[in-house]
Amino acid sequence: MKEYLKLTEEFLAHGEDFSFMEIALKIDTLKAVIDFHSHKYYLESSPVVSDAKFDSLFRLLKKWEEEYPDLKTNDSPTQKIYSAVQTELKKVSHSSAMLSLENAMNTDELIEWEKRIRNILKHDRLIEYTVEAKLDGLSVSAIYKNNFFVQGATRGDGQVGEDITLNMKTLSSLMHNVDFVKYGIKKAELRGEVVMFKKDFEDLNKKRADQNEKLFSNPRNAASGSLRQLDVSITKERKLSVLFFNMLSDDIDLISEENVNKIITESGFVSRPYFKKASSIEEVIGYCTELEKMRDDFDFEIDGAVVKVNNHDIRRSLGSTSHHPRWAIAYKFKAKEETTRLLDVIWQVGRTGAVTPVAVLEPVLIDGVKVQRATLHNTDELERKGIKIGDIVTIIRSGDVIPKVVAPMTEVRTGQEKKIIVPQNCPICETKLVKIADEVALKCTNSACPRQIEERLIYFCGRKGLDIESLGDKVCKKLIEAELVHDLADIFYLKKQDFYNLELFKDKSSENAISAINEARQKELWRLISGLGIAYVGVQTAKSLEKNFTSLDEIADANEEDFALIYDIGEKVARSLCDFFSKEENQKLIEKLKNAEVNTISKSVSVNDKLNGQSFLFTGTLQKMTREQAKELVEENGGKPTSSISKKTDYLVLGENAGSKVKKAKDLGVKVISEEEFLQMITD
Ligand code: IVH
């Protein structure tokens, strides 16, 4: 993890100045760093960088991809939507993807957004906008058929969410019966946010504290935890509200956001607490600034303003990327600052041995979130900031990420503050720490350090590695603690009883863990390579190694010149690979993996471009495959799956009972084909 934080800082400090060569070499690392942070944020709900830094990384990647479109890949974080889909509630597919929003960090970026829109539209006519509050809650969808609420779902990963129909029915602000038919609407999907009022959040946490229950860290987590309950009586007890800000229907032309707002309000739903129409980007900026000043006046948390193009016709011309609609943007509010006391500094050891300081703070509430840990990055930064233990420090957090210490308030020092002692030895294994030239972090060079092994194992079993779901962070830690695992290969020698003996497992789950490990033996080689945690070798490099070599043995035997022949492998990576495979301990590890029948042979990672970058949209019920599979097929064959129709869509593929998209496609001149025809395009 520390490796990622180090890379994060490197990219933030120097990324803007990289040459093409550097970009080509490092873009995969940047993608991996963004992937890592997204995973932390969306799937583990424990982000480790500020929103602002994350946004800067994301924008750096976007800039590189815009400058060098050849470097853009389908699995880039700019093309993905992250979110956790829990399995306990039934899964439901969304009729069209629930997308994210692009962020504007300042008013200049709003102006740039308007320019981009004008460039696409190629006209100077008046564009009307709407400005409203960005609610910090849980994204949901509500489907109404013939005036009745029939299905509620969470956003999930954007494509597939969880069925929370019953839970949503317990919310007093959710209309069970409406009169949409009078507008000519038979079926409609409302999309919005479920929020918990700040006051209700405080009451809930007070009650939980009295009962010795774990507290929710902010109203959003409380809303999410309360809504996604199997027992709906719990949802009912927690006071939640739903506010809708989007409506989809194929039955009528909804005309504008203003009209949607009117229908939603007239139908009895809670109306948006702030909703303005603007006729110029200057007016938009005025409203965004006004809203930012009012941010604390609302009953619930808001974390920005959402600016949308009012007119739906214009929206259709603008379309969406796979990540966000082009017709809307979120204007993020400035991060919030607070002051508190630095109580202590602890030193964390990461997967690569990097040892980094973390601030232990006197708990303080920032924007409704209790903060008691903050990153201090590295010793250079400690020195630069001159922070001492006992100092009152300003901390900043934007959104819902791990905060960072900005600076000490030296003017209020009492003289009692103590110097931060930088450890000489690893806090875990006591090996003498070293500072490697050109690297900011202190390093524990003992690759057998228990914490490093733990972090490496977590990574090995994680999404970037063999992706063994049963072996999450907790289980990995337990396995090491119980001395059942000493190196990465040991997991392949575990028995059912080993799991059963760990407190975390029962009979069935022990069996599941073993079969998950068995499955992992057969996974693609790139997963194994990436999971090994070789310095500078992330998922992309691992994939490219699998593509260019026939087996792990061949990779291990290659020299720096061999690696130099591969386009996306640079000198540093090549050196690191040779270094890794030349070490006896690693050779032994690989032998041990092979003895456990772990796959070390490349599968044909074919680069096929049958669909030649053309974009495909699927509609209706497909007969031969699921939507997800169809999209994967498009990607595998070098095409682009899209989630909404626009002039830029190349093909609309029709399933059964396809709706009004066919007409739209014809109007826009998009080619319409059958599922059969699509399959023919990708068969040899
Ligand atoms: S409009 C993306 N309006 O923000 C399609 N979204 O970061 C149009 N959100 O998942 C969304 N308040 O759940 C819109 N007033 C608002 C919003 C809002 C909060 C959420 C939404 C979306 C997320 C994107």
* pLDDT mean values, one per 10 residues, the chain (684 residues): 84 92 90 84 70 89 93 81 60 93 92 95 91 95 91 92 89 91 95 94 84 75 88 86 97 96 96 95 96 89 95 95 94 82 95 93 82 89 87 74 80 90 96 87 91 95 93 94 94 95 88 95 95 89 89 95 83 93 95 96 70 86 82 77 84 83 83 90 80
User: From the alpha carbon of 328, which atom of ligand 1 is closest?
Assistant: 8
Task: Tell me the C-alpha to C-alpha distance, in Å, between residue 328 and each of 110, 113, 129, 314, 325.
Answer: 10, 9, 9, 11, 6
User: From the alpha carbon of 192, which atom of ligand 1 is closest?
Assistant: 13
- Which regions of 416-567 does DSSP assign to beta strands (E)? 418-419, 433-435, 442-444
Alpha-carbon span 510 to 496, nearest angstrom: 5
Tokens linked to 656: 């059964």
Residue 390's SS3 state is coil
Alpha-carbon span 372 to 362, nearest angstrom: 6
Alpha-carbon span 428 to 419, nearest angstrom: 22
DSSP H or E stretch at residue 143? strand 138-145
Instruction: Give the chain's count of helices (H) and strands (E).
Output: 25, 24
Of 40, 134, 464, 640, catalytic: 134
* DSSP string covering 146-213: TTEEEEEEE-TTSSEEEB-HHHHHT-TTS-SB---GGGT-SEEEEEEEEE--HHHHHHHHHHHHHTTP
Inter-residue contact 230 to 88 (CB < 8 Å): yes
**CA 154 to centroid of ligand 1, rounded, Å:** 13
Inter-residue contact 589 to 626 (CB < 8 Å): no
Alpha-carbon span 316 to 254, nearest angstrom: 12
- Which regions of 196-335 does DSSP assign to beta strands (E)? 241-248, 275-278, 302-309, 328-332
Residue identifier of the C-alpha nearest atom 6 of ligand 1:
134
Question: Is the alpha carbon torsion for 580, 585, 587, 591 positive or negative?
Answer: negative
Angle at 653 between CA 649 and CA 656, to 5 degrees: 145
Tokens linked to 614: 């053309």
CB of 245 shorter than 6 A to ligand 1: yes
Alpha-carbon span 345 to 341, nearest angstrom: 12
Q: Which of 245, 227, 225 is nearest to 235 (CA)?
A: 227
One-letter amino acid at 520 equals A
CB of 193 shorter than 6 A to ligand 1: yes
Alpha-carbon span 491 to 485, nearest angstrom: 6
Please give the DSSP secondary-structure letter assigned to residue 325: B
Kindly provide the b/e burial profile for residues 343-370, where b requires at least 16 CB atoms within 10 angstroms of the residue's own CB.
eebebbbbbbbbbbbbbebeebebbbbe
Tokens linked to 97: 């993807």
Look at residue 399 in the predicted model and tell me its pLDDT. Answer: 46
Task: Tell me the C-alpha to C-alpha distance, in Å, between residue 676 and each of 361, 401, 628, 653.
Answer: 61, 47, 17, 9
Alpha-carbon span 400 to 218, nearest angstrom: 9
Best mutation site among 98, 135, 260 for ligand 1, i.e. most ligand atoms within 8 A of its Cβ? Answer: 135
DSSP H or E stretch at residue 616? strand 615-619
Domains of the chain in sequence order: 2-79 (1.10.287.610), 91-332 (3.30.470.30), 337-439 (2.40.50.140), 450-595 (1.10.150.20), 615-683 (3.40.50.10190)
User: From the alpha carbon of 137, which atom of ligand 1 is closest?
Assistant: 19
Is position 134 annotated as part of the catalytic site?
yes
Q: What is the pTM of this model?
A: 0.50
- The full 3-state SS of 59-92, as one line of letters, equals HHHHHHHHHCHHHCCCCCHHHCCCCCCCCCCCEE
Alpha-carbon span 457 to 465, nearest angstrom: 9
Alpha-carbon span 486 to 493, nearest angstrom: 11
Inter-residue contact 635 to 613 (CB < 8 Å): no
User: From the alpha carbon of 132, which atom of ligand 1 is closest?
Assistant: 15
Alpha-carbon span 656 to 624, nearest angstrom: 11
CB of 99 shorter than 6 A to ligand 1: yes
One-letter amino acid at 338 equals E
Best mutation site among 83, 130, 306 for ligand 1, i.e. most ligand atoms within 8 A of its Cβ? Answer: 306
Alpha-carbon span 202 to 225, nearest angstrom: 15
